[in-house]
């Protein structure tokens, strides 16, 4: 259409027409145009492209401008004209179909039904053969119209299809497209996306470059000659494919009915003996050459399984999930099938793009009427009083989970409904990521009606005894809603169970995770519920294309693409099972890792299960809550503390900057000092404000506990809640960076990427400050704690955000109440906590192995059924016209045999299933199997034997295959962590504990002790002693209270005694030998590592030992829960740890060794930062015990045994050989050495 110029069109031109000739000619011209318009309408019915998003009024194609003015200019200008009629107003773009569109689509549907037989005839003639070539009529350098003669008794569209062409219009088509080209485009669509515009432009460019130009009747070039024709042909060719597939499915369904009737007849005649088909499926054995891994025993409790089959549609989608014949497994054991649901609001549709007539019945998109009916039922149910039922977790926990998820708030608008009529999709996939069904979202928020409609739809396609587990981001909210309100029937409610997706588990409260996290639920295996996210990544390319096309065409594109995705996943089921078994994160390797942890924790499995049951029962029923008023006041105090902490850092940064630029004048110093005093005053006022809250009065059960301890405990509790909220926000932003609209490595747009990154950068320092403050609270609580209070001490949190995300303790609240008995082991025993987590992982792996075996059986059974159907259909005469397609379908089914062969399903079993399928079809038709004789060829032995050297002359060459991986640059957010050496060396450091004595160890004999006299000193005569500074070591003071612990033979040594005595022993050896190659680490160093102290703090407290230049590090360790001292000797050059425990208890070393290796890695990294060379690889270390039998029977000499071990190491030995009879002499000798020091 030519461009209309506003000025030109608004000018009024008057002709001098006194005779009225102009008016007559003008009326004649209007009549001619109306006649031409009617003819164009008739042709347009056969030429419409079918793109329902581009409907426009026909009058816009008429140009009343320059074309009408040309002939009128030559008229007689002597007569004055009448004023021209006013120009009609320009009509708006039409977005809804008109009558002509419905007529056209009706003609297409009638033609498609007529084309099926012709298409089958063409397919039978060409399938598996080279493409037929049409005879070239004339070779010219331009297009030429060639008339096609056909009989009027045979429609043109049938003639075209018989000859391999598809018309572009239902009546009088001007263009026909090759069926082979349409088939190629269909395959390209399944692998990429809808690309009709790209194909049309490609053909146009190709023909133009070859010298073939498409011109109109006026000889002008047509800019887009193929798009409309290709669009129409592609759309209706797909409808033809659907009709053909429906006929094939109808034939197979009929054959399946015959198979079922035959099986039932045989069951009745043979006294319930299964037929050969079922026997082949149920009795297949694994070949002897392939050893299947052991599987966990099948649960024997629960009702017996019922024999039934799922709907054929589900069986075709995922044979592994729905191909079984026995249903009704207990939900507590995992149920029959696992499915995941999630919504996506990227797949929107613009309302201005319009709609077209209905032409496709979606298979995997549930109807809108069905969804709306569910929505009306939900609204009516919520108006009625809620039902009373026992919730799994407290109501406030569910409310917190609901508040933290936008998916749980159906009223929250996620899309502008003024621009979009369809706002997204809600998808359901099985645990193998096969898309099952999709609901089209047409509301602003993610309402529950879409998920409920999908669940009800799949339940109607399953046997009435089938049990299902649905994994949803807000599964806890769904569970409460369906139980509280009568939304679905009670029978359906008993058959379903809800879990939360594993990836979004951190967004739920810990009490919620105990009941809904799939990794903590029995029977769930390794189902993670994240298959929908992988589906969104797979179909992300549809987002931009479907947004601007017709509304029904969008649903057609989505439905057909989902079908191709499902077919791909069906073929990859065997690969999926092999990956689950043998992958790097597969169940075989994960089971081995979990088993090592369970054994290393040295706690019986029965004890671990008992502790886990107690933890679940306690944390889901007993929860200490502060009063609402007090919680708000404490939150206000925490906010003030955060602001004061930020002010402190700002003042320090300002002081550093001014010092660097040399602006440290007297006035600047005075101003900074005033600011510092003001900040200190604010901190004091905050402390007074908190003291005025009298928080200890709100917890009478904490009476008798130190007020400072209670205050710190409550601050730690509220600080952890604050940390959890901030951390979850950061995790969500990380996912936003990763997921975008196209997966982890498909980055966001530059603007959104920068906004998200800036948000993370802005919030990370505040989060790290909160974590460090919380860790300081934990350290302070450990110092103030007394065991008689029976209050567990909270564990510190890692400052590495990646480790924080995987830390389960982040979700647990700080315990703020007494335990009436002793503190439970699951709360304060690290070995029990690690053992329980490993036990849970091992159980899930065993359950996954059992489910994989069941799914392999289902796949084998479904393959046998489908092969039996197609074998029977091929041999029935009434399906002769489908014979080539059925044969091709049989070939595709047989090609699944190598793809579906796994360790759990041997090749022999699948071959047996394939062979028995043909036998079953022959039995129904009464065809006796023929016996084929295989004659053994005669072999005549030669006179000479082949030399032995030629036996192995044929060797199979080995090929080294390399996996080419795409190098992707990702953001490294670790640079923004303030002063932390969070390198991979620290995170990956580890050692294997070998419970045997180290080879070639040196034993220190007791005879090496000096002569000691009995202790006769009185407590009143004790005076403080001091060890003078030497080298980098500072002065050491010995208080009378600490010296008194050496005097009493039954007193326990504290950390001051251990650290002071160790340095005193080292000073004696330095005086005797002149130097010492042993670095004495204090008892506080490992505590700093556990509480993630800063690098500056660690370096300040360890640099005096000059550990980077020593070959041996001595580290005394205090086990707080057991009130016990142990010793770890570190040999960096040998990559060995020597462990000394006077009780010879293995249980504590598993957690201690991990912390020790973190200490080694961090101290090495910090030394490198400060210019000292240290090894950077901290893997493949070994840890050996120095004592394999207990040498202590009392409860007070463990500290002395630790000092005896240090004494032996300083003397060049590795272990002491003291006994309980001689260990008292060590205490006396140390006392004598301390008393020999000068008084302070």
Output the six-digit token pair for 103: 């007529």
CB 1053 within 8 A of CB 1122: no
Quote the CA–CA distance of 556 and 357 in Å, as a whole number: 12
Contacts of 606 (CB under 8 A, 6+ apart): none
CB 441 within 8 A of CB 423: yes
Q: Residue 911: which of 928, 892, 929, 898 has the closest Cα?
A: 898
SS3 1016: coil
pLDDT at res. 960: 37
* C-alpha distances out from residue 236 to 164, 166, 167, 355, Å: 15, 9, 9, 17
List residues bridging with 468 in a β-sheet: 337, 496
* C-alpha distances out from residue 327 to 310, 488, 812, Å: 9, 21, 38
pLDDT at res. 492: 92
Contacts of 1107 (CB under 8 A, 6+ apart): 1079, 1081, 1113, 1163, 1167
Quote the CA–CA distance of 179 and 238 in Å, as a whole number: 11
- For the chain, percent helix, then strand, then coil, each to nearest 5? 55, 10, 40
Residue 249: CA count within 13 A, CB half-sphere:
10
Against a cut of 0.75, is the pTM above it?
Answer: no
How many of the other CB atoms lie within 10 Å of CB of 521?
23
Q: Which helix (H) or strand (E) holds 111?
A: helix 99-126
Contacts of 495 (CB under 8 A, 6+ apart): 331, 459, 465, 466, 467, 468
Residues of the chain with pLDDT under 50: 1-2, 41-87, 135-142, 271-300, 407-408, 622-630, 736-753, 942-983, 1013-1014
Torsion of CA 495, 499, 501, 502, to 10 degrees: -130
CB 1152 within 8 A of CB 1117: yes
The conformation of residue 700, written as its DSSP 8-state character, comes to G
Quote the CA–CA distance of 549 and 554 in Å, as a whole number: 6
SS3 assignment for 581-593: HHCCCCHHHHHHH
SS3 assignment for 195-261: CHHHHHHHHHHHHHHCCCCCECCCCCECCCCCHHHHHHHHHHHHHHHHHHHHHHHHHHHHHHHHHHH
CB 15 within 8 A of CB 75: yes
CB 612 within 8 A of CB 824: no
Output the six-digit token pair for 266: 């045989």
Cβ burial of 626 (10 Å; 0-12, 13-18, 19+) is middle
Output the six-digit token pair for 460: 């109607």
Q: Residue 1153: which of 1115, 1203, 1206, 1107 has the closest Cα?
A: 1115
Quote the CA–CA distance of 467 and 1130 in Å, as a whole number: 55
Quote the CA–CA distance of 127 and 888 in Å, as a whole number: 9
Output the six-digit token pair for 477: 């909210």
What is the per-residue DSSP string for 585-645?
TSHHHHHHHHHHHHHHTT--HHHHHHHHHHHHHHHHH------HHHHHHHHHHHHHHHHHH
Quote the CA–CA distance of 1004 and 1209 in Å, as a whole number: 9
Cβ burial of 657 (10 Å; 0-12, 13-18, 19+) is exposed
Quote the CA–CA distance of 208 and 443 in Å, as a whole number: 47
How many of the other CB atoms lie within 10 Å of CB of 168?
25
Output the six-digit token pair for 755: 């906004």
pLDDT at res. 729: 59
pLDDT at res. 55: 37
pLDDT at res. 637: 62
Pairing relationship of beta strands 1036-1038 and 1025-1027 according to DSSP bridges? antiparallel
What is the total residue count of the chain? 1240
CA 757 to chain centre: 21
Sheet containing 1112-1119: which strands, arranged edge to edge?
991-993, 1181-1185, 1136-1140, 1124-1131, 1112-1119, 1078-1080
Output the six-digit token pair for 956: 């199979």
Q: What is the CA radius of gyration of the chain?
A: 41
Quote the CA–CA distance of 173 and 232 in Å, as a whole number: 11
Output the six-digit token pair for 806: 């995987």
pLDDT at res. 237: 92
Quote the CA–CA distance of 789 and 823 in Å, as a whole number: 10
pLDDT at res. 1006: 54
């Amino acid at each position: 259409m030519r461009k209309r110029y506003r000025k030109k069109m608004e000018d009024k031109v008057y002709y001098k027409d006194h005779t009225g000739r102009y008016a007559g000619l003008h009326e004649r011209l209007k009549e001619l145009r109306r006649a031409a318009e009617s003819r164009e309408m008739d042709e347009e019915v056969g030429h419409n492209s079918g793109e329902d998003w581009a409907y426009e009024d026909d009058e816009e194609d008429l140009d009343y401008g320059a074309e009408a003015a040309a002939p009128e200019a030559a008229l007689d200008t002597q007569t004055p004209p009448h004023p021209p009629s006013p120009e009609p107003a320009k009509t708006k773009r039409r977005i809804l179909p008109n009558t002509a569109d419905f007529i056209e689509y009706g003609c297409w549907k009638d033609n498609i039904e007529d084309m099926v037989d012709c298409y089958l005839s063409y397919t039978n003639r060409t399938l598996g053969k080279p493409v037929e070539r049409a005879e070239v009529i004339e070779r010219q350098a331009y297009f030429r119209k060639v008339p096609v003669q056909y009989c009027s008794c045979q429609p043109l569209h049938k003639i075209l299809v018989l000859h391999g062409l598809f018309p572009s219009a239902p009546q009088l088509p001007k263009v026909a497209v090759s069926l082979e080209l349409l088939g190629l485009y269909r395959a390209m669509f399944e692998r990429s996306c809808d690309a009709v515009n790209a194909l049309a432009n490609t053909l146009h460019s190709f023909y133009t470059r070859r010298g073939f130009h498409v011109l109109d009747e006026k000889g002008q070039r047509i800019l887009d000659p193929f798009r409309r024709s290709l669009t129409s042909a592609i759309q209706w060719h797909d409808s033809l494919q659907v009709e053909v597939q429906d006929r094939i499915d109808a034939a197979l369904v009929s054959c399946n009915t015959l198979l079922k009737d035959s099986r039932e007849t045989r069951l009745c005649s043979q006294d319930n003996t299964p037929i050969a088909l079922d026997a082949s499926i149920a009795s297949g054995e694994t070949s002897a050459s392939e050893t299947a891994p052991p599987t966990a025993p099948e649960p024997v409790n629960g009702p017996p399984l019922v024999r039934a089959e799922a709907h054929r549609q589900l069986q075709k989608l995922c044979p592994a999930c729905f191909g079984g014949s026995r249903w009704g497994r207990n939900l507590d054991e995992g149920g029959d099938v696992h499915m995941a649901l999630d919504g996506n609001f990227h797949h929107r549709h613009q309302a201005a793009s319009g709609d077209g007539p209905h032409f496709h019945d979606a298979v995997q998109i549930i109807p809108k009427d069905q969804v709306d009916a569910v929505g009306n039922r939900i609204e009516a149910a919520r108006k009625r009083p809620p039902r009373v039922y026992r919730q799994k977790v407290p109501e406030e926990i569910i409310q917190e989970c609901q508040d933290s998820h936008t998916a749980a708030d159906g009223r929250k608008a996620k899309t502008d409904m003024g621009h979009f009529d369809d706002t997204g999709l809600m998808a359901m996939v099985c645990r193998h990521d096969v898309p099952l069904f999709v609901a089209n979202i047409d509301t602003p928020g993610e309402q529950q009606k879409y998920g409920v409609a999908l669940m009800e739809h799949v339940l109607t396609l399953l046997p009435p005894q089938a049990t299902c587990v649905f994994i949803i981001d807000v599964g806890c909210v769904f569970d409460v809603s369906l139980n509280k309100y009568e939304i679905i029937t009670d029978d359906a409610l008993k058959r379903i169970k809800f879990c939360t997706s594993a990836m979004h588990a951190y967004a739920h409260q810990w009490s919620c995770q105990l009941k809904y996290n799939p990794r903590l639920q029995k029977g769930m295996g390794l189902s993670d519920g994240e298959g929908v996210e992988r589906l969104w990544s797979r179909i992300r390319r549809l987002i931009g294309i479907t947004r601007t096309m017709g509304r029904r065409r969008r649903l057609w594109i989505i439905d057909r693409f989902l079908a191709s995705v499902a077919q791909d996943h069906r073929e990859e089921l065997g690969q999926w099972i092999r990956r689950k078994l043998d992958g790097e994160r597969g169940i075989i390797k994960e089971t081995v890792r979990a088993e090592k942890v369970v054994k290393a924790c040295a706690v019986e499995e029965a004890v671990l299960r008992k502790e886990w049951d107690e933890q679940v029962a306690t944390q889901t029923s007993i929860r200490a809550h502060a009063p609402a008023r007090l919680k708000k006041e404490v939150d206000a105090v925490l906010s003030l503390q955060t602001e004061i902490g930020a002010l402190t850092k700002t003042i320090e940064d300002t002081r550093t900057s001014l010092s660097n630029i040399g602006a440290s004048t007297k006035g600047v110093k005075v101003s900074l000092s005033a600011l510092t005093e003001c900040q200190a005053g604010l901190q004091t006022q905050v402390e007074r404000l908190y003291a005025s809250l009298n928080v200890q009065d709100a917890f009478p059960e904490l009476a008798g506990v130190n007020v400072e301890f209670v205050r710190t405990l409550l601050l730690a509790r509220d600080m952890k809640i604050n940390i959890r909220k901030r951390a979850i926000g950061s995790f969500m932003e990380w996912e936003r960076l990763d997921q975008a609209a196209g997966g982890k490595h498909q980055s966001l747009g530059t603007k959104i990427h920068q906004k998200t990154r800036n948000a993370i950068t802005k919030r990370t320092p505040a989060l790290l400050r909160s974590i460090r403050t919380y860790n300081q609270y934990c350290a302070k609580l450990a110092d103030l704690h007394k065991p008689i209070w029976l209050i567990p001490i909270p564990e510190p949190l890692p400052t590495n955000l990646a480790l924080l995300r995987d830390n389960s303790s982040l979700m647990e609240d700080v315990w703020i109440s007494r335990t009436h008995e002793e503190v439970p082991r699951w709360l304060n025993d690290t070995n029990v906590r690690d053992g329980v987590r490993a036990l849970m992982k091992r159980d899930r792996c065993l359950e996954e192995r059992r489910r994989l075996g069941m799914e392999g059986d289902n796949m084998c059974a479904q393959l046998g059924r489908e092969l039996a159907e197609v074998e029977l259909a091929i041999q029935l005469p009434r399906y002769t016209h489908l014979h080539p397609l059925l044969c091709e379908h049989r070939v595709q089914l047989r090609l699944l045999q190598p793809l579906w062969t796994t360790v759990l399903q041997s090749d022999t079993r699948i071959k047996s299933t394939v062979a028995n399928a043909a036998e079953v079809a022959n039995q129904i038709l009464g065809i006796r199997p023929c016996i084929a004789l295989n004659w053994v060829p005669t072999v005549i032995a030669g006179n000479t034997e082949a030399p032995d050297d030629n036996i192995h002359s044929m060797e199979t060459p080995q090929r080294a295959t390399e996996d080419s991986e795409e190098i992707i640059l990702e953001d490294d957010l670790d640079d923004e962590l303030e002063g932390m050496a969070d390198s991979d060396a620290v995170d990956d450091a580890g050692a294997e504990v070998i419970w045997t004595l180290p080879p070639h160890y040196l034993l220190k004999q007791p005879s090496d002790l000096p002569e000691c006299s009995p202790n006769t000193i009185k407590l009143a005569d004790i005076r403080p002693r001091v060890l003078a500074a030497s080298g980098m070591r500072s002065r050491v003071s010995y208080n009378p209270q600490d010296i008194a612990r050496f005097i009493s033979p039954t007193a326990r040594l504290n950390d001051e005694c251990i650290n002071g005595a160790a340095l005193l022993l080292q000073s004696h050896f330095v005086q005797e030998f002149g130097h010492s190659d042993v670095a004495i680490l204090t008892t506080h160093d490992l505590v700093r590592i556990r509480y993630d102290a800063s690098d500056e703090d660690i370096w300040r407290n360890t640099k005096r030992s000059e550990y980077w230049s020593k070959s041996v590090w001595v580290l005394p360790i205090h086990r707080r829960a057991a009130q016990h001292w142990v010793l770890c000797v570190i040999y960096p050059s040998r990559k060995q740890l020597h462990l000394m425990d006077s009780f010879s208890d293995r249980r504590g070393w598993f957690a201690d060794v991990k912390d020790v290796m973190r200490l080694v890695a961090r101290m090495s990294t910090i030394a490198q930062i400060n210019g000292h060379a240290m090894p950077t690889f901290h893997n493949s270390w070994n840890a050996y015990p120095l004592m394999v039998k207990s040498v202590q029977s009392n409860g007070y000499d463990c500290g002395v045994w630790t000092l005896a071990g240090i004494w032996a190491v300083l003397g060049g030995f590795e272990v002491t050989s003291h006994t309980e009879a001689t260990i008292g002499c060590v205490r006396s000798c140390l006392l004598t050495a301390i008393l020999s020091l000068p008084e302070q």
